Structure formats: structure tokens, C-alpha cells
Amino acid sequence: MRAEEIRALNDEELTAQLDEAHQELFNLRFRLATKQLVNHREIRKVKKKIARMMTIMRERELIGT
């Protein structure tokens, strides 16, 4: 997801997407530990996705105050 797409989401959708991304990261780490992960770069992509979402959530928090 790009930053523009994330900004288009409302707060509830953003929270749901963030929860899904955390679950996806957990699954990727689990697959890495059991040697079933083929492309380990996926972990980095999901981490960046989570960071983008959290940054936009923080932006909204600061604008609201």
C-alpha cells in the first residue's frame, strides 16, 4: 500500500489494516523459523507497511490536537 492509499482510509479501516499487517508479519516470522519462507524480503516489506500506517496514524493524532 502506498501512503496515498493509506491516507484515504478512515480510522477504523486503518486500524483493521494494521492488525492484518501485524498478523501477516507474525505468520511470516513463523514460516521463517520453520524454514518454510522462500522470499525473506517479504518480512521487510511488511515491516515498512506497518511503519507507514503507524506514521499516518501519528500524523492524524497530531493534527487532531
Q: What is the CATH number of the domain that holds 58?
A: 1.10.287.310
DSSP character for 1? Answer: -
Percent of the chain with pLDDT over 90: 92
Confidence band, pLDDT 50/70/90 cuts, at residue 65:
low
Average pLDDT over residues 7-12: 94
DSSP character for 38? Answer: S
Confidence band, pLDDT 50/70/90 cuts, at residue 62:
very high
Query: What pLDDT score was predicted for residue 64?
Result: 84
**32-54 pLDDT, tens digit each:** 999 999 999 999 999 999 999 99
Tell me which residue range forms the domain holding 9.
Answer: 3-64
Tally the domains of the chain.
1
Give the CA distances from residue 55 to residues 19, 35, 48, 52, in Å, rounded to whole numbers and listed in that order. 15, 32, 10, 5
How far is C-alpha 9 from the chain's CA centre? 13
